[in-house]
């Protein structure tokens, strides 16, 4: 059985919907430096990151994510050469999601911050517990005791299974961030500006 979760940015201009389908997602907590850099880029670290520099992501298939309002307020950025695309709201600088830089891969990591729940209990019922707390070595301050320093290799078979299922089911498409092979807006690249 699937569940529908409402998404809304901090200023309510961008709205969307996520279908949560059993065994088709990972609920992760990411402490990586790239996620932290993204929050810095958005100039919104306080709202986005926890005290360790972590953020919660819900990784699923693009087909399950719909933006219903504020399409013209979506921006995209790529922090590293060959890095992932990070999508955000231009109105209130909230992360929306990250995807690969190609529309063919059935993967999207949605910011849990956008999701609307009545309370923590409802959130837990829908998303379940965090299944992996990754890249703890980039934590700000002490690494949380339940975090993995990098990404646990034991998790890889599950990721591969997820990708295969997504590819076979063509769940990369439709995506809120791609029209066919092209991105909905020009993705800003930050690495060009670096010396």
Contact residues for Zn ion (CB under 5 A)?
9, 11, 13, 30, 32, 35, 89, 91-92
**Could you tell me the smallest distance in angstroms from the CB atom of residue 2 to Zn ion?**
26
Q: Both tokens of residue 32? A: 């990586």
Question: At its nearest, how many Å lie between Zn ion and the CB of residue 10?
Answer: 5
Beta carbon of residue 119, minimum distance to Zn ion (angstroms, whole number): 23
Of the candidates 45, 34, 132, the one whose C-alpha atom is nearest the C-alpha of residue 86 is 34
Closer Cβ to Zn ion, 9 or 49, answer by number: 9
Residue 19 C-beta: closest distance to Zn ion, Å: 22
Nearest residue (CB) to Zn ion, 103 versus 132 = 132
> CB-based contacts of 52: which residues, under 8 Å, 6+ apart?
31, 139, 140, 141, 143, 144, 147
111-to-9, 47, 116, 168 alpha-carbon distances in Å: 10, 12, 11, 25
Nearer to Zn ion among residue 80 and residue 173 (C-beta): 80
Of the candidates 83, 79, 12, the one whose C-alpha atom is nearest the C-alpha of residue 39 is: 79
Q: Which is nearer to Zn ion, 30 or 127 (CB)?
A: 30
């Amino acid at each position: 059985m699937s569940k529908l979760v409402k998404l809304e940015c901090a200023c309510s201009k961008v709205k969307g919907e996520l279908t949560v389908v059993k065994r088709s997602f990972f609920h992760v907590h990411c402490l990586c430096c790239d996620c932290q850099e993204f929050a810095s880029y958005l100039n919104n670290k306080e709202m986005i990151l926890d005290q360790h520099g972590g953020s919660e992501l819900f990784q699923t298939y693009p087909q399950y994510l719909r933006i219903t309002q504020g399409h013209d307020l979506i921006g995209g950025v790529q922090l590293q050469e060959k890095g992932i695309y990070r999508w955000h709201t231009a109105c209130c600088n909230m992360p929306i999601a990250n995807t690969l830089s190609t529309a063919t891969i059935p993967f999207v990591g949605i910011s849990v911050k956008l999701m609307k729940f009545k309370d923590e209990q409802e959130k837990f019922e829908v998303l379940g517990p965090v299944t992996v707390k990754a890249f703890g070595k980039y934590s700000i301050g002490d690494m949380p005791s339940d975090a993995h320093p990098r990404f646990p290799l034991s998790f890889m078979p599950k990721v591969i299974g997820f990708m295969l299922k997504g590819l076979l089911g063509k769940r990369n498409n439709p995506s809120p961030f791609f029209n066919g092979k092209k991105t909905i807006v020009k993705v800003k690249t930050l690495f060009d500006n670096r010396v």
